[in-house]
Structure 1
Amino acid sequence: MTDVHVVVPEEIDDPTRPSGGNTYDRRVLDELAALGWAVHEHPVAGAWPRPDAAAHAGLATVVAGVPSGGVLLVDGLVASCADGVLAPEASRLRVVVVVHLALGSADPEAAPGERRVLGAARAVVTTSGWTRGLLLDLYGLDPAAVHVVAPGVDEAPVSPGTTSGGELLCVAAVTPAKGHLDLVSALALVGDLPWRCVVAGALTIDPRHVLEVRDRLASAGLADRVRLVGPLTGPALEQAYAAADLLVLPSLAETYGMVVTEALARGVPVFATAVGGVPEALGETADGPPGILVPPGDPESLAAALRSWLGDEGLRERLRDRALQRRRRLTGWGRTAEGLLRVLGDVMGEGPGG
């Protein structure tokens, strides 16, 4: 049996709302199909992870249509808030949940339902060791059932960089959790130095927060140096990385941080917050990390790191050399698909019972 039914959010391919979770799902499903698997994709409508009754009913219809004993791979954005639909089906189906973000870690009210559905699943896939550890601590899951399958990254040409190092790039949806207000505060503290910053990320998820970021930029006199360009994909995103000297990711929470490896795949160093799975994504080289990690919510520390970067050519050269070293050790999406296949193979080898 090489059939897998997959439940994903309806907007998985929406170019106006790119996300790491959507990219992970799409790339892995495409790889499975290329390997000869029959991938039955079921996009489900709804404001996941806050679905209404209609969204739950739509999901229930999809799940009921999966043959008994079939493998059902569910994106955690859907699964973690649909225990009433999925948990009762766990004895009939081989349910595997891919957790990009543990909802219960940020919303205690979501924890009981998430615990129920993850506990009922045959296997849980996480994108980082940090997330795996968080789920084990939160819910007491069977460690043998929780697997790390890290995101891959595409090969890319090395970004040429500039002599000044002043071309900064932040790739993240403009929402409170991504720390853009901290980024603005940090940039204001190095406003005396030459730099420009492109912020590439969705502007429609939280319009009120976007307005707050724009107001803060105007108040700091940075509106002409920081460009909020909206979400970038395809060639436009490639151009943004090609023009960048440094990726800056000031997130307050991050389960992995795929943009970190996307930057490193181009030899671009990374300054980011030491949250979640970001240290795993950044990685190490024989000479040290290919970037600098700072505490979350600490714009002064980020500003100090940026001041060092902009004022020290030797530091820029060292970090760029490390980024190039790290680039050579990154793995592609084929490796990610292989990891998921091992999990699916184990689940398929189990008996039909729960």
Structure 2
Amino acid sequence: MTARAAFALPGDIATLTGGYIYDHRLVEGLRDLGCKVEVISLPASLPTPDAADMRRALDRLAALPADVPVIIDGLAFGALETAGLHRVRAPIVAMIHHPLAQESALPADLADHLWRTERANLALARHVMVPSPHTRDMLITRYDVSPAKITIVRPGTDRPAAPQAPVDPPLILSVGILHPRKGHDVLIAALAQLADLAWQAVIAGNPWDDQHVAALHAQVAESGLGARLELAGRVTPERLSQLYRQASIFALATRYEGYGIVFDEALSHGLPIVSTRTGAVVDTVPEDAGLLVPVDDPEALAAALRRLLTEPQEQAARAAAAARAGAALPRWADAAATAMAVLDALPPSDPASMP
């Protein structure tokens, strides 16, 4: 068993986003298995650092000993200067949630730069961990990564601590950082088309982009929905658990997902899902548990929500399918065991190849 490892990522591992939660739980799971994991906080400006932060990140990684493997989160890994990454003696395992160039609303020149950099850096990794078959397939087809070099480490789930207790009117819950990629603007536009029905909605997620958050608040104010729609922002774990238990429908109008931990959370609570046909969503949401619509289509999203709100038998059938799928999901201990197997299988460093 690997006795020591490092896990490097930008900023604070306790940040409340799906990717950081995944990283945090993976570190905890590896430690539970007896591996001493050092968390290395790289500059939070990654993946778009200035020259000084890039140098600090690479110097920190280059200082790691050659016998301690380092897992580097993709938010940093794909943006690091390839020449500097050559200086790292530690065996590198890349943790790619989704390729950086797939982020929404990137300028074309930045997307091209990130694609080229991440592709070059992946050639230097001893192994690559991904959370979904979708990300694995993308790395193989677009980034020329050998299938033998990739392991899917599907996120784990926690089983609900209490039974569902749906509220009336039914609660539509959306969970995701307040970032353009999550499509909350599309969801708000869809909800505005459902004013004739009885429902309430909460959008919970860590503020990420201040300008986008301000635009969302303005859109909510203009929607005329009033107190029926709450843009809650960051909520405590206790309130989030309560919201999942109280909800009747989970909705996320995401523009792209490399995986999406929140879908598993919704399934584990037996919630029917309304989302978009993009990225890993298609593989993550069982066909009988959700309704998927095109990206950036508030009319189609509204129609799917209306269908569940007005057809109780269908809502109940999809909820039952979600509960069955949720009961079969892996635990975080399973994810950690898979990651540990990756570390244990890494070939020893070749002293002749070290700088």
Do Structure 1 and Structure 2 share a fold, with TM-score over 0.5? yes
Q: Distance in 2 between matches of 1:163 and 1:80?
A: 46
Alignment map for 1:177-196 (pairs within 5 Å): 177-196=181-200
Aligned to 1:72, which of 49, 58, 70?
70
Do 1:250 and 1:296's aligned partners in 2 also have CA atoms closer than 8 Å? Answer: yes
> Could you give the per-residue CA deviations for residues 245-291 of structure 1, whole angstroms, max 9, x where no partner exists?
111010001111111111111112211111111122223xxxx5212
Q: Distance in 2 between matches of 1:332 and 1:219?
A: 42
C-alpha displacement at 1:97, in angstroms?
0.5
> Could you give the per-residue CA deviations for residues 115-153 of structure 1, whole angstroms, max 9, x where no partner exists?
111111001111111111111122111121122111111
Gaps in structure 1 of 5+ consecutive residues: none
| TM-score, normalization by structure 2 | 0.92
Q: Which residue of 2 aligns with 1:7?
A: 8
Do 1:174 and 1:202's aligned partners in 2 also have CA atoms closer than 8 Å? Answer: yes
Q: 1:223 to 1:202 in 2, by over 3 A?
A: farther
Query: Would you say 1:97 and 2:97 are equivalent positions?
Result: no
Q: Distance in 2 between matches of 1:47 and 1:13?
A: 16
Q: Distance in 2 between matches of 1:210 and 1:112?
A: 31
Q: Which residue of 2 aligns with 1:139?
A: 143
Q: Distance in 2 between matches of 1:152 and 1:105?
A: 24
AA aligned opposite 1:8: L
Q: Distance in 2 between matches of 1:278 and 1:69?
A: 38
Do 1:200 and 1:230's aligned partners in 2 also have CA atoms closer than 8 Å? Answer: yes
Q: Distance in 1 between matches of 2:18 and 2:147?
A: 25
Q: Distance in 2 between matches of 1:86 and 1:152?
A: 33
Q: 1:334 to 1:349 in 2, by over 3 A?
A: farther
Q: Distance in 2 between matches of 1:19 and 1:348?
A: 32
Query: Is the partner of 1:296 in helix, strand or coil?
Result: coil
| TM-score, normalization by structure 1 | 0.92
Query: Is the partner of 2:29 in helix, strand or coil?
Result: helix
Query: Is the partner of 2:64 in helix, strand or coil?
Result: coil
Q: Distance in 2 between matches of 1:353 and 1:298?
A: 55
Q: Which residue of 2 aligns with 1:324?
A: 323
AA aligned opposite 2:4: D
Q: 1:12 to 1:67 in 2, by over 3 A?
A: same
Query: Would you say 1:275 and 2:278 are equivalent positions?
Result: yes
Q: Which residue of 2 aligns with 1:113?
A: 117
Do 1:74 and 1:98's aligned partners in 2 also have CA atoms closer than 8 Å? Answer: yes
> Could you give the per-residue CA deviations for residues 193-251 of structure 1, whole angstroms, max 9, x where no partner exists?
01111010123x22222222222222221232110111124212111111111110100
Gaps in structure 2 of 5+ consecutive residues: 104-110
| Number of residues of Structure 1 aligned to a counterpart in Structure 2 | 344
Aligned to 1:24, which of 19, 22, 25?
22
> Could you give the per-residue CA deviations for residues 147-191 of structure 1, whole angstroms, max 9, x where no partner exists?
211111111133222465x21111011221111111111111111
Do 1:87 and 1:116's aligned partners in 2 also have CA atoms closer than 8 Å? Answer: no
Q: Which residue of 1 aligns with 2:56?
A: 58
Do 2:58 and 2:80's aligned partners in 1 also have CA atoms closer than 8 Å? Answer: no
Q: Distance in 2 between matches of 1:352 and 1:243?
A: 57
Q: Distance in 1 between matches of 2:234 and 2:58?
A: 32
Q: Distance in 2 between matches of 1:85 and 1:269?
A: 47
Query: Would you say 1:199 and 2:203 are equivalent positions?
Result: yes
Query: Is the partner of 1:120 in helix, strand or coil?
Result: coil
Q: Distance in 2 between matches of 1:227 and 1:123?
A: 43
Aligned to 1:159, which of 160, 164, 184?
164
Q: Which residue of 1 aligns with 2:225?
A: 222
Q: Supply the RMSD in Å over aligned alpha carbons.
A: 1.8
